[in-house]
Structure 1
Amino acid sequence: MNFEEALTWLEQHQFHGIKPGLARISRLLEALGHPEKCYPCVHLAGTNGKGSTAAILSAILSAHGLRTGLYTSPHLVSVTERFRIDGREIPPERLAEVLTRVRRKVEALDLPVTYFEITTAAAFLYFAEEKVDFAVIECGMGGRLDATNVCRPLVSVITSVARDHTAYLGNNLWQIAFEKAGIIKSGVPAVIGKVPPEARKVILAKAINVKSPTYLWGHDFRVRKTGKRLLYRGLRRTLRNLTLSLRGTFQKYNLGMALAVMELLEENGFPFREDLIRRGLEGVVWPGRFEYFPLGSGIILDGAHNEEGVEALLSSLKQMDIHKYCLVFGATNEGGEKPYLYMLQKLARGAEKILICEPPGPRHPVSLADWKRHISQKDYPGIDFCQTPEEALKKALKEGSPVVVTGSLYLVGAIRKILKGGEESLPSPKVIRIRIPLHRVRKCLDR
């Protein structure tokens, strides 16, 4: 298959939806020769933060000269984003080759695999064929029955536990934590981020049961700000005056987990050089997570797609002294449990203007008709409904306020594609004197 044919075949498997379970992926990987066993890896789960933590960890490993594979989901613009080696996306023609080999096995076995199972198998196969030294593997959803949970990691990571995907993972934190804790393996150390006490009990119970050494945020390791820099106090090491290229107050938690993982890998013979740690941290790139574009009064893209993510976004905006903004919001509702009305309510408190649109993508976007059934201009006087993300962005730039785009990673991806495509397709931003000068915003971003 060429790239277009490969994408068409892959997209045909979207109708299988989300089907948790390891039987199908196990059969497929067996037929492919178990590529997931060809290299050491770290496995990450979590409601929020796992993608950023994975990106930080991957950048640090690459800085140490290790050929490092990174598998994440979902993608913002192109499926090639899911498969990276040393920060570089898989070339389209190379992905077509890998998917062709996966397709042959799928059809020979007559397996009713899902989209995510295919991409997971493709990632394991690609990394094996490219002979990576190490792989960083992010769960898609949950953990226990996630397709990635066939790997045998050197370290397991649970970044956070909050309500999301409740139709699949359970309605309370106990059930969700149980699913996340499913990635913890016998004898394999686990790094646990800042999680609620109820979830921590479940995770620790699983770790004790399988004799997994466990390291907790706030107890065994932590990161705090010291002026404009960050201080890491870890399992055995202390690193001072760290600079992380990723923005947002919540990134300190992700940084702490990545460095704790590096300390545990050092015990397995992997390198840990402070100068290379610093180089890696300064070069981390993770698009769409509190990403700033200096256009007009400033545009912030953040894929806050659940309650915890919205709280983290609002905290970061507060740190930047941004209390009033133009909100571009769209949401998905796969499973029918997404609290998108509550998320909008929280974000609307600082929004001078609200632009609602429907995000692209397969994850059951909340349509404009759905929105109009639930809310009106009486509820939100500054609200407007836009047919496309491009229309929403053009209207936002005319407002003259900082623009915050959030609610769905698919919406963030669509807006980011427009922004990266060049400013020639966008209207001239409204020029006014705003309450927060750009130099102050940049200063806050550098904190």
Structure 2
Amino acid sequence: MPEPHAAARRSPRSLAELEATLAERTDYELQEPPAGGWTLDRMRSLLAALGHPERAFRAIHVAGTAGKGSVACALASTLDAAGLRVGWTTSPHLVSFAERVRLGARPANEALWVEAAAPVLAAAATLAEPPTYFEIVTAIAFELFRRARVDAAVVEAGLGGRLDATNTLPAPALCVLTRIARDHTALLGEDLASIAREKAGIVKAGVPVVAAPGSPEAEAVVRAACRDRGAPLSLLGHDASLELLPPSPSAAWPPPLRTRVATPWGEHLLEAPLAQGAADNLALVALAAHRLEEPLGRSLAPYLPQACRRLRWRGRHDLVPGQPPVFVDGAHEPASLAALVDTCRRRAGPPPTLLFALARDKDLAAAIRLLEPLRGTLQACPALGARGRTPVEIAARFAAAGWEASPAPSVAAGLEAARRSALRRGSYVLVTGSLRLAGAALSLLGEDAAPAWD
């Protein structure tokens, strides 16, 4: 038997100890993944050693480039509103590590985390190759869901799809594909078709799929994947349509998203505290709810309005009151940034002071171009470890485009400088470019992200 790995020998007695143990693992959220990728062999071996916890619950598997978290949250809220015991995963976490695995609206409690982690770390110690941070967390989630006897689990893919640790789910009740865009190009491919093939790697034989790929090129790949695997496909724009409704005249800023979704099973008027660009996500949730009624044996569609309206999905379209107010939105790809700018332009008064960070595999030139209507003052932050662009590079590029931009030595220093600037100008702070930056800012502001809905 292989020598146990040092990090896996320990049996953490608290979430803090577990987080410290996991910090010793390879974490591709903070460092560049290997250009050649990896296989699922290590993850499959870990789950086999645990007695296959991933087979103990009905799963809904969510992948894509943008909107995965919002879709997972709204779907979990819908299942919960219908009376199902639901577990769900999301990444990265914003304020607390515990957010990564939830039961209902709240993170699983510390005792459940510790109990589920013990056998996972023990099993990991027997493997010839140490599992990564995300593989361990995914295995803990599956084990925790088994112990909690959930009726269903909504599982968000981490990176890509085909080779993501979550793609060890054997036969989900449903697969969901959100908008697909350029993302992690060193690993997934430079062109949209290659990236779409990786994301569509979650499609399983005979398992229904609902999708909103967002472009003809990505849609063609998704159609082909479903056809090749005999997976029934429901496509937004073909099998369902949406109408974006104007904000209510009495709505406070930022206004909630209002949309009318027409599906083959009926029409839904949905409202959620999400950005206007997230309308596709609500339409996907409506399609998914109808598709899940048969495999889960429960009527779900009647609960959609309540489930969407009550969301409290932090770090997205998230206003923190104060002097000055701080608007937190982790938008980091072009379509999301464009929707964010549209929301900010609806607010009267001077433009915001930006607190900004961006990963190296994201398009900085496109971000600068899209944020041009908000041009003013910017603090560039280090929030993404080795995967992030340096504050010096970001500030220099924005300054060349006419911004008053400065590099900050830390998120705390950048946030303080941005707040002073916004107060002087009678404006607000906009935190964007990265979900990790969004989480760091919320933490510094004394906010939590625990309940995902009220």
TM-score tier (shorter):
0.7 to 0.9
The answer for the alignment partner of 1:351 in structure 2 is: 375
Counterpart of 2:452 in structure 1 is none
- Structure 1 distance, partners of 2:158, 2:350, is 33
2:299 equivalent in structure 1: 272
C-alpha separation in 2, matches of 1:421 and 1:84: 18
Q: Partner of 2:359 in structure 1?
A: 332
Q: Does 1:124 align with 2:147?
A: no
- 1:382 paired with 2:418, answer no
- Which residue does the alignment assign to 2:128? 110
Matched, 1:212 2:234: no
1:190 deviation in Å? 0.7
Structure 2 residue corresponding to 1:231, chosen from 245, 255, 260? 260
- Alpha-carbon offset, residue 162 of structure 1: 0.5
C-alpha contact 2:172 2:207 (8 A) present in aligned 1: yes
User: TM-score, normalization: structure 1?
Assistant: 0.87
Instruction: Give the secondary-structure state (helix, strand or coil) at the position aligned to 1:271.
Output: coil
Residue in 2 that maps onto 1:285: 312
| Range that drifts further, 79-88 or 392-401 | 392-401
**What amino acid is the match of 2:200?**
A
SS at match of 1:127: helix
Aligned counterpart, 1:170: 189
User: How many residues in Structure 1 have an aligned counterpart in Structure 2?
Assistant: 415
Report the secondary structure of 1:285's partner residue: coil
Is 1:256–2:283 an aligned residue pair? yes
* Helix, strand or coil at the partner of 1:137: strand
Shift of 1:369: 4.1
1:77 aligns with 2:95: yes
| Alpha-carbon offset, residue 268 of structure 1 | 2.5
> Kindly tell me: are residues 112 and 269 of structure 1, through their superposed partners in 2, closer, same or farther at Cα, counting changes over 3 Å?
closer
Q: CA 1:266–1:302 in structure 2 vs 1: closer, same or farther (change >3 Å)?
A: same
Aligned to 1:10: 22
* Counterpart residue number, 2:255: none
How well do the aligned residues superpose, as a CA RMSD in angstroms?
A: 2.2
State how far apart, in whole Å, the 2-side matches of 1:100 and 1:414 are.
Answer: 29
TM-score relative to the length of structure 2: 0.86
In structure 2, what is the equivalent of residue 64 of structure 1? Answer: 82
Equivalent residues of 2:78, 2:300 under 8 A apart: no
Amino acid at match of 2:444: I
Change (3 A) 1:267 1:308: same
d(CA) in 2 for partners of 1:321, 1:247: 20
Structure 1 pair 331–74 and aligned structure 2 pair: CA distance change class (3 A): same
Q: Which amino acid aligns with 1:83?
A: V
Do 2:213 and 2:222's aligned partners in 1 also have CA atoms closer than 8 Å? no
Choose the corresponding residue for 2:436, options 392, 410, 433: 410
CA distance in structure 2 between the aligned counterparts of 1:94 and 1:140, rounded to whole angstroms? 22
1:283-325 per-position Cα deviation (integer Å, ceiling 9, x unaligned) = 2221111111222353211111223332232233345568822
Kindly provide the CA deviation profile for residues 112-160 of structure 1, in whole angstroms up to 9, marking residues without a partner as x. 2111111111111110111001000000011111110111211111101
Distance 1:214 1:255 in 2: 17
Residue 6 of structure 1 contacts residue 100 of structure 1 at CA under 8 Å; is this kept in 2?
Answer: no
Greater shift in the superposed pair: 282-291 or 225-234 = 225-234
* Distance in 2, Cα, partners of 1:255 & 1:74: 21
C-alpha distance in structure 1 between counterparts of 2:241 and 2:345, whole Å: 22
Letter of the aligned partner of 2:51 in structure 1? G
Q: 1:104 to 1:377 in 2, by over 3 A?
A: same
Q: Would the alpha carbon gap of residues 219 and 318 (structure 1) be closer, same or farther in structure 2, given more than 3 Å must change?
A: farther
- Quick one: which of 391, 395, 408 aligns to 2:417? 395
Give me the whole-angstrom Cα distance separating, in 1, the residues matched to 2:440 and 2:65.
22
CA contact 2:210–2:284 (8 Å) conserved in 1: yes
Q: Does 1:367 align with 2:390?
A: yes
* 3-state SS of paired residue (2:234): strand
Choose 159-168 or 320-329, whichever is displaced more.
Answer: 320-329
What amino acid does structure 2 have at the position aligned with 1:364?
Answer: R
Residue 222 (structure 1) shift: 2.4
**Among the aligned pairs, what percent are the same residue?**
33
Write the mapping of 1:172-191 to structure 2, written as runs, cut at 5 A. Answer: 172-191=191-210
Cα distance in structure 2, aligned partners of 1:204 and 1:322: 46
Deviation at 1:341, TM superposition (A): 4.2
CA distance in 2, matches of 1:36, 1:285: 28
| Structure 1 stretch displaced more, 9-18 or 73-82 | 9-18
- Paired with 2:145 and 2:189, the residues of 1 have a C-alpha distance of 33
More deviation, 92-101/139-148: 92-101
Q: Partners in 1 of 2:400 and 2:217 — Cα distance?
A: 39
Distance (Å, rounded) in 1 between the aligned partners of 2:24 and 2:349: 43
Contact 2:286 2:301 in 1 (8 A): no
DSSP-derived class of the 2:98 partner: helix
> Aligned letter for 1:285?
R
Match for residue 43 of structure 1 among 44, 53, 61: 61
Q: Which amino acid aligns with 1:6?
A: L
* AA matched with 1:230: T
The answer (yes or no) to whether the contact 2:101–2:141 under 8 Å persists in 1 is yes
- Alpha-carbon separation, structure 2, partners of 1:198 and 1:378: 34
- 2:81 touches 2:307 (CA, 8 Å); kept in 1? yes
CA offsets per residue over residues 27-80 of structure 1, 9 Å max, x none? Answer: 100111111110101101110011100100000100111010011111112221
Aligned residues of 1:194 and 1:253 also touching (Cα < 8 A): no
Structure 2: gaps of 5 or more residues:
1-11, 249-257, 449-454
Q: In the alignment, which of 326, 333, 337 is matched to residue 310 of structure 1?
A: 337
Relative to 1, partners in 2 of residues 1:59 and 1:376: Cα closer, same or farther, differing over 3 Å?
closer
Contact kept, 8 Å, 1:221 with 1:260, in 2: the verdict is yes
1:213 Cα deviation (Å)?
Answer: 1.0
| Equivalent residues of 1:64, 1:271 under 8 A apart | yes
Deviation at 1:349, TM superposition (A): 3.8
Q: 1:61–1:255: structure 2 CA closer, same or farther, 3 Å change rule? A: same
Does the 8 A contact of 1:55 with 1:285 survive in 2? no
